[in-house]
Amino acid sequence: MIDVAVINTDQWSTALGRDLAPAINVGLLGVGKLAENIVAPYPPAPSPSGDTWYERGYGPKRRRKDGSVTGRKTSEMLGRRWTIASRSRMVVVLMNTASYAANVHDSEEQSAVMQAIGWKTDADADREITPGQIEDVMIPPIVNFLVGGL
């Protein structure tokens, strides 16, 4: 999980006579996009080995003794299942709705196989997003809100 603490917002809102939460939420959506840009890209596909393999966008495949290939289309299209949503006042969530997304992207649940392939996790995004990047996406919506509204 990536936590961005925006402090003293009540004092700012009181001093300015305006609720800053809408502008802060826009900035937090930008932080969610930064995280998505880190975790969503697919690493290089592993080379098929042996008679069975997983084909991205399709599912498991198997080579029969006669040389033909069989398989089952089971892929949930992990790369197309990303959503960034504002859940409540100043809470934004980046999520993937594929049933197996946690095994791929959650640092506490990622399987060793997914780690070995090179899939990035929420912890990777937390480490890689810099304070400067957060400022770059948080400050403009607040400034725009203050000078002209959203």
Question: Across residues 98-110, what is the average pLDDT?
Answer: 95
Q: How far is CA 22 from the centre of its chain?
A: 21
Q: Is the dihedral of CA 145, 130, 32, 5 positive or negative?
A: negative
Q: What pLDDT, on a 0 to 100 scale, did the predictor assign at position 106?
A: 96
Whether 74 is covered by a domain: the verdict is no
Q: Is the pLDDT of residue 48 over 80?
A: no
Amino acid 5: pLDDT: 67
pTM of the full predicted structure?
Answer: 0.84
Report in angstroms the alpha-carbon separations of 116 from 10, 48, 119. Answer: 45, 15, 8
The total of structural domains in the chain comes to: 1
Eight-state DSSP code of residue 80? G
Residue 101, in any domain of the structure: yes
Residue 66 lies in a domain: no
pLDDT band at residue 149 using 50, 70 and 90 as cut-offs = low
Which residue stretches of the chain are H helix? 9-16, 21-39, 101-105, 112-117, 122-128, 131-148
How confident is the model at residue 2, as a pLDDT?
64
Query: Is 39 a residue whose pLDDT tops 90?
Result: yes
Q: Report if residue 70 sits inside a domain.
A: no
Give me the pLDDT at residue 9, please.
80
Mean pLDDT, rounded, for 47-63 = 88
**How far is CA 79 from each of CA 11, 36, 149, rounded to the nearest angstrom?**
40, 10, 34
Report yes or no on 53 lying in a domain: no
Mean pLDDT estimate for the chain? 90
Coil, helix or strand at residue 10 = helix
Residue 64 in any domain: the answer is no
Is 65 part of any domain?
no
27 neighbors 139 (Cβ within 8 angstroms): yes
Whether 50 is in a domain gets the answer no
- Average pLDDT of 55-78? 93
Q: Which domain holds residue 116?
A: 9-43+79-148
